[in-house]
Amino acid sequence: MAESGRIRVAKDKADLVKSLISSDGGNGPFQTFADVIVFAAALGVKYKKRVPFEEVSKREPVPIRIETFMSMGYDAVIKLLGITETQNIQILSPNDEEFEKQRNEIFEEYANGGLEVLQEHLRGAIDYTDQISLFLISDKDKKNEDDGEFDLRKFLS
């Protein structure tokens, strides 16, 4: 179960999360661990991939304080996922520690699923920024084709 007041990262995804950060001389596309986790959670939701984890990273990245997410405005994502997943508005209760733990766990599991999606798409890549951009562009193009939108690029081949 999630711990109150912190968002955890699965131990097996810790190295991936660290490699996606641009600090300390890295070339990742994200500035903070919180940025990575929110992006991963959004991917997890998009791909309907909610993955529980047993082992939590004890080293970098350590569980991230919820205040970090709040200061960046990301707490809204955590709350929206909680409501969407449980269909229970009570999960927003600020005074109930159990609801907070449940919200955090839902968010963590979607982030873990999104990190699995990223792991698959980044395998063998050197520049994660370019690879993520290409992944997002190709996904958008695929969606446009599925929607039946008219695309002039069809005539270029």
Q: What is the pLDDT of residues 6-22, one digit of tens each?
A: 999 999 999 999 999 98
Q: What is the pLDDT of residue 24?
A: 63
CA gap 26, 6 in Å, rounded:
25
- Tens of pLDDT along 43-69? 999 999 999 988 999 888 999 999 999
C-alpha closest to that of 8 among 154, 99, 115, 83: 115
Exposure of 41 in the CB half-sphere (CA atoms within 13 A): 27
CA gap 96, 85 in Å, rounded:
18
Provide the 3-class DSSP secondary structure of residue 8: coil
Task: Tell me the CA distances in angstroms from 66 to 70, 74, 105, one per residue in order.
Answer: 6, 9, 12
Q: Is the pLDDT of residue 127 over 60?
A: yes
